[in-house]
Structure 1
Amino acid sequence: MEHHTRLEKFLEGTEYPTTKANLVIYAERYGIEHQISQRLLQLPERKFDTPTEVLSALGLVRSTSAKDSVESHRGSSNYDRNIPQGGKGGHS
């Protein structure tokens, strides 16, 4: 469950629209956990407009949105650890 929450936080810090390739590059650039990078590699090759679209493509959509989940976890001791805020989604 923790990796799912970390994935949601990572996705919220990404600029959209984005692609699978950008998400993978962005994750590698910011040292995101191996388990999250592996999940991103399972994505189809397409454009994603929102974090929810990425989660849906991975079969991980919950009853609350990724943004709601992030808001509920802000302030926790691990929230900002290695999670880029307002990043560029791997634009080079």
Structure 2
Amino acid sequence: MTTSRSTTGERPLNPFIDVQKALKGASYPADKNSLIETAKANGADDEVLQRLQDLPDQQYQSPAEVSKGVGNE
């Protein structure tokens, strides 16, 4: 079994989309820990959870701010 993603696989190639799907229903502003809990409740995979763990520990005002943080890791 390979771990690389392909365009025919189930997972999107965009980590921002993966993270935002995992954060569906999150209330903002939100701190890193509440974002992680929301992602876990939504069944996020280990890769998404790791991206959230790697975020700076701060308050996030919007989904866009979370995406910016994910992009800066």
Q: Settle same-fold status: TM greater than 0.5.
A: yes
CA RMSD of aligned residues (A): 1.8
Please name the residue that 2:40 is paired with: 28
Contact 1:17 1:47 in 2 (8 A): yes
Please name the residue that 2:53 is paired with: 41
Question: TM-score, normalization: structure 1?
Answer: 0.56
Any idea what the Cα deviations from partners look like across 1:33-91, whole Å, max 9, x if unmatched? 1110010000111000100001111117xxxxxxxxxxxxxxxxxxxxxxxxxxxxxxx
Q: Using the TM superposition, give the Cα deviation of residue 3 of structure 1 relative to its aligned residue in structure 2, in angstroms.
A: 4.1
- For residues 25 and 48 of structure 1, what CA distance do their matches in structure 2 show? 14
Structure 1: runs of 5+ lacking an equivalent: 61-92
Runs of 4+ aligned structure 1 residues displaced above 6 Å come to none
Question: TM-score, normalization: structure 2?
Answer: 0.68
Letter in 2 for 1:27: A
- For residues 43 and 24 of structure 2, what CA distance do their matches in structure 1 show? 16
Please name the residue that 2:22 is paired with: 10
Superposed, 1:62-77 pairs within 5 Å as none
- For residues 32 and 10 of structure 1, what CA distance do their matches in structure 2 show? 5
Structure 2: runs of 5+ lacking an equivalent: 1-12
Contact 2:24 2:42 in 1 (8 A): no
